[in-house]
Structure 1
Amino acid sequence: MIANDVRLRPLTARVAQRLRRLSLARGQDVFLGSEKELMATFGVSRPTFRQAVNLVAHEQLVEVVRGTRGGIYSRRPDIGGVIGPATAYLMTRRTTLRDMLEITGSLIDAASLQAISCNDPEMCERAQSLVNQMLCPSRAQTLEQFQDEEFQTISLLGEMAGNPATELLLKTLYAVGIAAFPSIFRDKSELMQRRRIGRARMMEAVLKKDMVSLSHINTSNRIVSEAKIDEALLSQEMVMLWDADI
């Protein structure tokens, strides 16, 4: 049962759980029933039903559609909607840049090892295209372009890992960590290029399914990144870095 349910009356919590199960048992965008029909099915009043629907709609598992074709429809959560609250949680827990780097490094190690098993032609083609792009010596980048390319790499690595939990955690940590990018990389084109080459070598090792090289590359990337970051910045809380970038 979802943690938020503990603050609800038992009946509302049970209806919310039944709505989740109903949505998950169907495909996406499937009509589950009208408000009147579902109230009758669950045997509850309108206030109780609407409170349960609001909770499950907030979780992006159902949507209330108004009008002639109105009713309750099944939905599936968008990763962006999940990342937002997770980012806010980390920001309010005094998370430091060092905290972020420690866990991100471990996650990238795990994700890249999982990604070695990826045989999806489309994903592998995208990965090779990214590698070629990152190794292009004549391609100068702005900080914004660098951040976008980094996100593409991390996102694709998460997809290739084939583990939704890994993908979600990587994207969440990136969403928080991006606040530190200006402090680390602004006006440091050489450091950005070293980071790009490191990421490219990592993806190359994944595509070649070379676990030994991958382990060495990830370790080297982590050492280089941490060595180039000022100690005071490592101890800085992420929320302060966000404020500084506004």
Structure 2
Amino acid sequence: MTTGQDKRATRAASVLREEILQAGPGTFIGAEDALMSRLAVSRQTLRMAVSILTQEGLLTVRRGQRGGLYTRLPTSESVAHMASVFLRSQGADIEDLTRVNALVAAEAARLAAANPSVEARRTLCDLVEQADRATGSSVIDASLVISRYIGVLSGSPTLTLFTTVLSELARGGYAERILSDSSRIDACRRAHRALARAVADGDQDLAAEVIRKHHERLLGWLGSRRRMVKSSRNLTQTVDG
């Protein structure tokens, strides 16, 4: 049950949050006594508000002569980690992840191909070449680096965050279930090379189409795996029966 103090702390956090987002990282926003007076809240309420913002990655507390509250901004990695933990707790499965990623990645690829920096677009080719040389578990890491870079290259903070979240979630054993043999790894590498060429050439429609077809292939692999697991379970039940 929410108490009056909880509500006051939430309101104080909302006021400070807006100030932080406008001020940018590393800005001194006040000492505790000054903030209590300005926000007209008790010390306990202020500390509750500070705790909220600290957990959001927006505040840091410094001690000493120049102590007080200083602003900071959360990183996409920290936000992505928490989002992936939440999605796992809600039972997000690999098919859900792949379907959503198909939509997000296709739009990110389209915008990446429209990035005005030719050098930045060609950097994707370098990442793909590095991924082609990867072996073992590094294959998955290299693939996720490509996905994240596409988000950054799109120039959209929203797509950058979403691609980072989905990449973080894919680390949870999901990627290993898709890239289960060398033929699939080779198919992914071919898709990455086609995507890199399309982005380097600035071909937005082709970049989006490459991603769309790639994710159709991934979903097909997942469907095959699901049918195989179901068949194995039916066989086990028949033997046990």
TM over 0.5: yes
1:60-139 aligned at under 5 Å gives the runs 60-121=57-118, 123-134=120-131, 139=133
Deviations 1:14-72 (A, max 9, x none): 21111112212212111111112211222221101101111111111111112222110
User: Partners in 2 of 1:8 and 1:92 — Cα distance?
Assistant: 29
User: Partners in 2 of 1:51 and 1:77 — Cα distance?
Assistant: 19
User: Partners in 1 of 2:209 and 2:24 — Cα distance?
Assistant: 43
2:31 corresponds to which residue?
Answer: 34
Query: Does residue 176 of structure 2 align to residue 182 of structure 1?
Result: yes
Residues 1:128 and 1:182: Cα distance change in structure 2 (over 3 Å): closer
Query: Does residue 6 of structure 2 align to residue 12 of structure 1?
Result: no
Residues 1:18 and 1:213: Cα distance change in structure 2 (over 3 Å): closer
Task: Please identify the structure whose Cα radius of gyration is greater.
Answer: 2
1:125-164 aligned at under 5 Å gives the runs 125-134=122-131, 139=133, 141-142=135-136, 144-164=137-157
User: Partners in 1 of 2:74 and 2:111 — Cα distance?
Assistant: 24
Give, in angstroms, the shift of residue 190 of structure 1.
2.7
One-letter identity of the residue aligned with 1:53: V
Between stretches 55-64 and 209-218, larger displacement belongs to 209-218
Query: Does residue 206 of structure 2 align to residue 213 of structure 1?
Result: yes
Instruction: Pick the aligned partner of 1:228 from 211, 221, 228.
Output: 221
One-letter identity of the residue aligned with 2:178: I
Identity %: 23
- Confirm or deny: 8 A CA contact 1:20 1:56 kept in the other structure: yes
Give, in angstroms, the shift of residue 90 of structure 1.
1.1
Total equivalences in the alignment? 227
One-letter identity of the residue aligned with 2:170: G
One-letter identity of the residue aligned with 2:140: Q
Give the structure with the larger helix fraction.
2
Give, in angstroms, the shift of residue 234 of structure 1.
10
User: Partners in 1 of 2:115 and 2:204 — Cα distance?
Assistant: 13
1:44 corresponds to which residue?
Answer: 41
Residues 1:44 and 1:78: Cα distance change in structure 2 (over 3 Å): same
User: Partners in 1 of 2:128 and 2:77 — Cα distance?
Assistant: 25
One-letter identity of the residue aligned with 1:30: T
